[in-house]
DNA sequence: GGGGAATAGG
């Protein structure tokens, strides 16, 4: 960036004639075109005009290209007027400009008009057809091209590749070799990309030998594409070997190797490369920022984005969308809105990547309707925009809107289906999860890892073992049985359904286990009463892996100790939490310990703990304490605790529910009714309850809020009768 | 004047 301003100063300075001035002007104009520096380009134009050389043939062509690229039609018209010979070069410029604007038909008209054409005219049109997917027309032209050279071959090879015709492009490459045309560095770049996309390791290696034979092993671009090839095929050693023996490296080489460390899961090393890179451009910044976001380090991503702005690097659309994603993860609406405003200002509001990130941001921050506003302004919506808005609606419980959108999508992607599935899952509407899943299978869409994990999660929550087993079967059919996400979901599903044997079986067979997998198994064992095994597994995890215990694992451990009467062991782990594991116990951990102490009769200690808590105790903690008091006859503490619960009940709906449950368990039905009535009067609502039954492998769910009209009356009638019977029974006893 | 390599949303 700095160099262009210096060069501009030279032009402005009185030294107007030096050797190579024309060449300098041309490269400056090229620079302005490539970097979209329109104002600077115009300044240069004015100076060249004043110097009387703006109509110099080579300069005029560059000016024409620049204005064509900036779509400045009046300037283009003026130049064409000045440039009185409307020759082949001008024609070629106009053809390639039209190709860039996706006006290939206009380009064809110009091509047909030409009295004389050269290799450039042909190649421009051949690649023009390929760019808009009109392969047949392009190939027809390619076969008729009288000026076939390495460039037109390369154009066809890479064009076929970008149309997804990988095999055809490689066949064309072989044909080219048979024709006796030698590939150059650009050809190799395209061919290596074809091998990458086909994941053809052997073929790629033989291409490498050809690269060496023809002396391109020192070419930076070729090496860069070979690094990417190695990375995509998981050959990390090969990638770093190529990088190490490169005599010359550029930003792209460095960015590619940075990505290698990220792929290997070593973000710290990636950051080291990033910090040590001799040169960074917006793509390098963007790579680092987007990877931080993807791996869940949203705060680091935002921090890097801030530094980038401070360093006056212009963020590109990838960067902006990653930054917005990071903000969405952190639910930071206000800064997100600032970027939204900025994006609108610089004219990127229409970018599909940025727009879908914005939709996601508004959805994550609870404003799906603002996401809708963004959605409506996007001109070229793609399926991701649709899916993101669906997720935004459904994760905020607006299922009708989500469904309406979903039905409007003409060509649904796997993501569209998954958005619906995840939406219902998040809102605990498990029957809908199965409904969508069945529709999906009927439509012919194959589920992916995400779908199966979600559906298994629904099975786990419904403890529907039969359905879970069906899905387990499907994972084998689809070849996902070794996937870590699917495996973890299966472990969780079997554990939650009480089938601990199968849970263990799946866990032991898993080839890759992550933190979540271990958590699911440890938790599963603890909650199914296998406290000792759970503790053993925990110790095994600490010994054999480098996974650090998380909040949930420790909760499971405390739970296990509590239910097994291992009070001292439980207290031991509780004390290790902050000192060794560096995890601050939350209210749920405290509840567990309070419960543990109360159950074992150490009621006074339990009360002391609850009172010393740095966070607000859960109602459950008080309830555990109260039941401990009852068991061990600690009337004095019981009285205090009951008063506290009564007090809490005044503030929270959960308190009343708890209170009524406490009364219910004591058989005080009149008190229960009184509490319920009190809740109603105070406008407190119990959070939506849900129940279900499984009849002939079909799930039927009932929601508390679902019941309406006659159904509700019917249910209420039954309830009233039940209540009456209970009262009568109680009074008689 | 024509061909290409690194980053990117659900």
pLDDT at A18: 45
Cα–Cα distance, A60 to A79 (Å, whole number): 8
**Is the C-beta atom of A225 closer than 7 angstroms to strand B?**
yes
- Domain closes at, from A54, A69, A84: A84
pLDDT at A380: 85
Question: Phi and psi (nearest 5°) for A143?
Answer: -70, -30
Q: Is residue A129 part of a domain?
A: no
Residues paired with A690 in a beta bridge: A703
Residue A120 pLDDT greater than 60, yes or no: yes
A309 alpha-carbon distance from chain centroid:
23
Distance set, CA A643 to CA A472, A637, A651 (Å): 50, 10, 13
Q: Is residue A15 part of a domain?
A: yes
Residues paired with A703 in a beta bridge: A690
Tell me what the pLDDT averaged over chain A comes to. Answer: 86
Most confident range (mean pLDDT) of A18-32, A547-561, A668-682 is: A547-561
pLDDT at A699: 46
Tokens of A516: 């979540």
Q: Is residue A72 part of a domain?
A: yes
**Is the C-beta atom of A123 closer than 7 angstroms to strand B?**
yes
Q: What average pLDDT does this structure show over A484-510? A: 94
For tokens 């004389």, what's the residue? Answer: A116
Lowest mean pLDDT among A80-89, A107-116, A392-401, A463-472: A80-89
Which 284-303 residues of chain A approach strand B with CB closer than 7 Å?
284, 286-287, 290-291, 293-294
Q: What average pLDDT does this structure show over A631-642? A: 86
CB A22 within 8 A of CB A56: yes
Which 359-388 residues of chain A approach strand B with CB closer than 7 Å?
360, 382-385, 387-388
Tokens of A547: 């996974």
The DSSP secondary structure of A120-185, one letter per residue, reads: HHHHHHHHHHHHTT-HHHHHHHHHH-TT--HHHHHHHHHHHHHTT-HHHHHHHHHHHHHTTPPP-H
The DSSP secondary structure of A399-452, one letter per residue, reads: HHHHHHHHHH-SS--HHHHHHHHHHHHHTT-HHHHHHHHHHHHHHTPPP-HHHH
pLDDT tens digits along A335-373: 999 999 999 998 888 899 999 999 999 999 999 999 999
A472 Cβ partners below 8 Å, 6+ apart?
A490, A493, A506
Q: What angle do CA A704, A708, A713 make, to 5 degrees?
A: 95
Between A307 and A671, the more confident residue is: A307
Cα–Cα distance, A731 to A74 (Å, whole number): 96
Residue A104 pLDDT greater than 80, yes or no: yes
* Helix (H) or strand (E) run with residue A691 in it: strand A690-695
Nearest residue for B4, CA–C1': A186
Tokens of A14: 């009185």
pLDDT at A38: 84
For tokens 């990390």, what's the residue? Answer: A236
Domain containing A53 equals 1-84
Q: What average pLDDT does this structure show over A690-697? A: 46
Q: Is residue A315 part of a domain?
A: no
Q: A700 falls in which pLDDT band (50, 70, 90)? A: very low
Between A280 and A698, the more confident residue is: A280
Tokens of A121: 């005219």
The DSSP secondary structure of A287-344, one letter per residue, reads: HHHHHHHHTT-HHHHHHHHHHHHHTT----HHHHHHHHHHHHHTT-HHHHHHHHHHHH
pLDDT at A328: 96
Cα–Cα distance, A382 to A409 (Å, whole number): 10
Q: CA at A193, C1' at B5: how many angstroms apart?
A: 9
| Spatial CA neighbour of A295 closest among A260, A266, A324, A328 | A266
Q: DSSP assignment, residue A703?
A: E
* Helix (H) or strand (E) run with residue A111 in it: helix A104-113
Residue A572 pLDDT greater than 70, yes or no: yes
Residue A691 pLDDT greater than 80, yes or no: no
Q: CA at A385, C1' at B8: how many angstroms apart?
A: 14
- Domain closes at, from A65, A84, A103: A84
pLDDT tens digits along A144-178: 999 999 999 999 999 999 999 999 999 999 999 99
A91 nearest nucleotide via C1' and CA: B1
Q: What average pLDDT does this structure show over A515-541? A: 93
Cα–Cα distance, A610 to A612 (Å, whole number): 6
The DSSP secondary structure of A483-524, one letter per residue, reads: -HHHHHHHHHHHHHTT-HHHHHHHHHH-SS--HHHHHHHHHH
Q: Is residue A79 part of a domain?
A: yes
**Is the C-beta atom of A62 closer than 7 angstroms to strand B?**
yes
Residue A238 pLDDT greater than 80, yes or no: yes
Burial of A621 (0-12, 13-18, 19+ CB in 10 A): buried
Q: A655 falls in which pLDDT band (50, 70, 90)? A: low
Cα–Cα distance, A492 to A487 (Å, whole number): 9
Cα–Cα distance, A392 to A360 (Å, whole number): 6
Cα–Cα distance, A184 to A167 (Å, whole number): 20
pLDDT at A386: 95
Tokens of A259: 């990505």
Lowest mean pLDDT among A100-114, A204-218, A296-310, A665-679: A665-679
The SS3 assignment for A365 reads: coil
Which 296-335 residues of chain A approach strand B with CB closer than 7 Å?
316-319, 321-322, 325
- Domain closes at, from A84, A110, A127: A84
Cα–Cα distance, A268 to A1 (Å, whole number): 29
Lowest mean pLDDT among A85-89, A286-290, A484-488, A669-673: A669-673
Q: What average pLDDT does this structure show over A539-544? A: 93
Which 386-405 residues of chain A approach strand B with CB closer than 7 Å?
387-388, 391
Q: What average pLDDT does this structure show over A691-718? A: 48
Q: What average pLDDT does this structure show over A108-119? A: 93
Lowest mean pLDDT among A494-503, A638-647, A685-694: A685-694
**Is the C-beta atom of A222 closer than 7 angstroms to strand B?**
yes
**Is the C-beta atom of A220 closer than 7 angstroms to strand B?**
yes
**Is the C-beta atom of A132 closer than 7 angstroms to strand B?**
no
A304 Cβ partners below 8 Å, 6+ apart?
A285, A288, A289, A292
CB A159 within 8 A of CB A130: yes
pLDDT tens digits along A41-76: 888 888 888 888 887 878 888 888 889 888 888 888
Q: At what angle do helices A587-599 and A551-564 cross, to 10 degrees?
A: 10
Between A37 and A291, the more confident residue is: A291
Lowest mean pLDDT among A41-45, A205-209, A520-524: A41-45
pLDDT at A619: 82
Lowest mean pLDDT among A82-86, A112-116, A261-265, A705-709: A705-709
Distance set, CA A38 to CA A35, A42, A44, A470 (Å): 9, 6, 10, 62
Residue A458 pLDDT greater than 90, yes or no: yes
Question: Phi and psi (nearest 5°) for A702?
Answer: -125, 130
Cα–Cα distance, A398 to A451 (Å, whole number): 20
Q: A2 falls in which pLDDT band (50, 70, 90)? A: very low
CB A391 within 8 A of CB A399: no
Give the per-residue SS3 of A23-35. HHHHHHHHHHHHC
pLDDT at A701: 45
Q: What average pLDDT does this structure show over A240-264? A: 92
Q: Residues of A538-571 as b/e, b for ≥16 C-beta within 10 angstroms?
A: beebeeeeebebebbbbbbbbbbbbbbebbebbb
**Is the C-beta atom of A257 closer than 7 angstroms to strand B?**
no
Question: Phi and psi (nearest 5°) for A106?
Answer: -65, -40
Q: CA at A345, C1' at B5: how many angstroms apart?
A: 32
Residue A17 pLDDT greater than 80, yes or no: no
Total number of domains in chain A? 2
A436 alpha-carbon distance from chain centroid:
22
Q: What average pLDDT does this structure show over A216-242? A: 93
Q: A415 falls in which pLDDT band (50, 70, 90)? A: very high
Q: CA at A219, C1' at B5: how many angstroms apart?
A: 11
pLDDT at A80: 82
Distance set, CA A574 to CA A548, A565, A588, A609, A702 (Å): 15, 15, 12, 12, 39
A251 nearest nucleotide via C1' and CA: B6
Q: CA at A351, C1' at B8: how many angstroms apart?
A: 11
């Amino acid at each position: 960036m700095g160099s262009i301003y210096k060069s501009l100063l030279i032009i402005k300075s009185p030294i107007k004639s030096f050797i190579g001035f024309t060449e300098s002007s041309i490269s400056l104009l090229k620079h302005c075109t490539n970097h979209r520096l329109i104002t600077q380009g115009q300044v240069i134009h004015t100076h060249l005009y004043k110097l009387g050389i703006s109509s110099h043939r080579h300069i005029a062509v560059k000016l024409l290209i620049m204005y064509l690229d900036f779509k400045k039609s009046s300037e283009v018209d003026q130049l064409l007027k000045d440039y009185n010979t409307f020759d082949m070069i001008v024609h070629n410029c106009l053809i390639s400009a039209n190709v860039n604007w996706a006006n290939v038909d206009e380009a064809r008209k110009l091509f047909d008009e030409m009295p004389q054409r050269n290799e450039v005219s042909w190649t421009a049109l051949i690649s023009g057809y390929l760019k808009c997917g009109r392969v047949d027309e392009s190939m027809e032209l390619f076969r008729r091209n009288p000026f076939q050279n390495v460039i037109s071959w390369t154009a066809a090879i890479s064009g076929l590749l970008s149309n997804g015709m990988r095999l055809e492009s490689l066949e064309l490459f072989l044909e080219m070799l048979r024709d006796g045309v030698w590939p150059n560095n650009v050809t190799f770049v395209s061919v290596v990309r074809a091998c990458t996309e086909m994941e053809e390791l052997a073929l790629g290696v033989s291409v490498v030998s050809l690269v060496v034979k023809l002396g391109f092993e020192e070419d930076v671009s070729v090496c860069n594409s070979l690094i990417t090839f190695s990375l995509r095929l998981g050959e990390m050693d090969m990638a770093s070997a190529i990088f190490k023996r490169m005599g010359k490296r550029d930003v792209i080489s460095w960015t590619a190797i940075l990505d290698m460390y990220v792929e290997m899961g070593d973000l710290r090393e990636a950051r080291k490369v990033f910090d040590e890179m001799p040169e960074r451009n917006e793509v390098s910044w963007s790579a680092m920022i987007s990877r931080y976001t993807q791996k869940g380090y949203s705060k680091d991503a935002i921090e890097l984005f801030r530094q980038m702005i401070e360093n006056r690097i212009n963020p590109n659309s990838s960067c902006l969308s990653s930054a917005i994603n990071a903000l969405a993860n952190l639910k930071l609406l206000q800064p997100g809105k600032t970027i939204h405003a900025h994006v609108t200002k610089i004219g990127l509001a229409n970018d599909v990547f940025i727009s879908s990130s914005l939709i996601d941001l508004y959805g994550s921050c609870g404003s799906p309707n603002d996401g809708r506003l963004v959605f409506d302004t996007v001109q070229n919506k793609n399926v991701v925009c649709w899916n993101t808005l669906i997720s935004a609606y459904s994760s905020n419980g607006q299922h009708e809107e989500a469904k309406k959108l979903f039905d409007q999508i003409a060509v649904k992607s796997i993501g569209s289906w998954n958005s619906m599935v995840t939406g219902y899952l998040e809102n605990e509407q498990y029957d809908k999860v199965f409904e969508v899943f069945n529709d999906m299978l009927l439509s012919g869409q194959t589920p992916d890892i995400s779908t199966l994990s979600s559906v298994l999660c629904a099975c786990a929550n419904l403890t529907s073992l039969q359905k879970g087993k069906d899905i387990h079967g499907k994972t084998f059919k689809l070849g996902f049985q070794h996937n870590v996400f699917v495996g973890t979901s299966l472990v969780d599903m079997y554990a939650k359904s009480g089938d601990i044997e199968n849970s263990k079986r799946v866990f032991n067979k898993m080839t890759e286990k992550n933190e979540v997998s271990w958590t699911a198994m440890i938790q599963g064992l603890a909650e199914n009463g296998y406290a000792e095994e759970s503790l053993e597994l925990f110790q095994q995890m600490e010994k054999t892996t480098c996974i650090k215990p998380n909040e949930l694992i420790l909760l499971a451990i405390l739970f296990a100790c509590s239910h097994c009467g291992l009070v001292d062991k439980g207290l031991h782990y509780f004390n290790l939490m902050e000192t060794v594991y560096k995890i601050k116990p939350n209210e749920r951990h405290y509840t567990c310990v309070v419960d543990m102490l109360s159950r074992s009769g150490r009621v006074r200690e339990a009360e002391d703990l609850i009172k010393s808590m740095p966070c607000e105790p859960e109602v459950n903690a008080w309830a555990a304490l109260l039941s401990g008091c009852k068991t061990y006859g600690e009337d004095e503490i019981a009285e205090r605790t009951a008063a506290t619960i009564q007090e809490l009940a005044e503030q929270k709906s959960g308190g009343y529910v708890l209170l009524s449950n406490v009364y219910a368990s004591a058989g005080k039905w009149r008190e229960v009714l009184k509490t319920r009535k009190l809740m109603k009067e105070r406008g407190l609502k119990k959070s939506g309850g849900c129940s279900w039954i499984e009849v002939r492998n079909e799930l039927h769910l009932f929601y508390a809020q679902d019941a309406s009209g006659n159904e509700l009356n019917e249910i209420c009638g039954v309830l009233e009768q039940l209540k009456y019977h209970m009262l009568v029974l109680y009074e008689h006893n």
